[in-house]
Amino acid sequence: MEQAPPRAPVAIGVRFGWDQEAQGEVLGGQIHVPVTRNGTFEVIPSAEMVFLTGTKDYQYNLDAAYVPGGLRGGLMLGAGVGWRDSALGGSLTEPRTTYFGYNAFLGVLTNLGPLKLELGLRWTFLNDTVLQPNSATFGLNLPLWSARPQG
């Protein structure tokens, strides 16, 4: 009987980078959940803080990604939805508002020993505001089990 290839692992990770529009540092976390056995399609829920002068913004995302290389990694293309909790005036005393929007991202995943290295660019198109965040991030993800790429 032929054995099926191993299922792509769920991976948890952290990422950090720079939000160009907000001019602030980004710190976040994500979970890569493969939808297909070979890891070609993933669902990626994530959350991040953007450190601004005098305040912080928070963004929550639910994205779907296409990784043609599957377990081997490589190019990663994706889109999804996001919510940004922001005090647009940049002050702790101003009221915060949560904006809904859409995400698009482009990145690269590669194996680095037991970890997966991730470089990414994300664009968020928020409704009802002029704030349109875009960020560049570097992330490290830890797969919860091992799955060797076939071939």
What are the per-10-residue average pLDDT scores of the chain (151 residues)?
76 97 94 94 97 91 96 94 82 78 96 92 93 94 78 48
pLDDT for the residue numbered 61 = 97
Q: What is the CATH number of the domain that holds 46?
A: 2.40.160.20
In a domain, 131, yes or no: yes
Q: Is residue 6, in this structure, part of any structural domain at all?
A: no
What's residue 47's pLDDT?
Answer: 97
Q: How much of the chain is in helix, strand and coil states, percent to nearest 5?
A: 0, 65, 35
pLDDT at 119: 97
Q: Is residue 148 part of a domain?
A: no
pLDDT reported for residue 146: 81
User: Into how many domains does the chain fold?
Assistant: 1
- Structure-token pair, residue 120: 């990414």
Flag whether 147 is in a domain: no
| 149 assigned to some structural domain | no
Residue 3 lies in a domain: no
39: enclosing H helix or E strand = none
- Residue 5 belongs to a domain: no
Closest alpha carbon to 8 in 36, 29, 31, 30? 36
The answer to whether position 75 is within a domain reads yes
pTM given for the model: 0.88
Q: Whole domain around residue 109: which residue ranges?
A: 11-140
Distance CA 13, CA 11 (A): 7
Nearest to 42 by CA among 6, 9, 89, 88: 9
What pLDDT shows up at residue 1? Answer: 57
CA pair distance 86, 51, nearest whole angstrom: 11
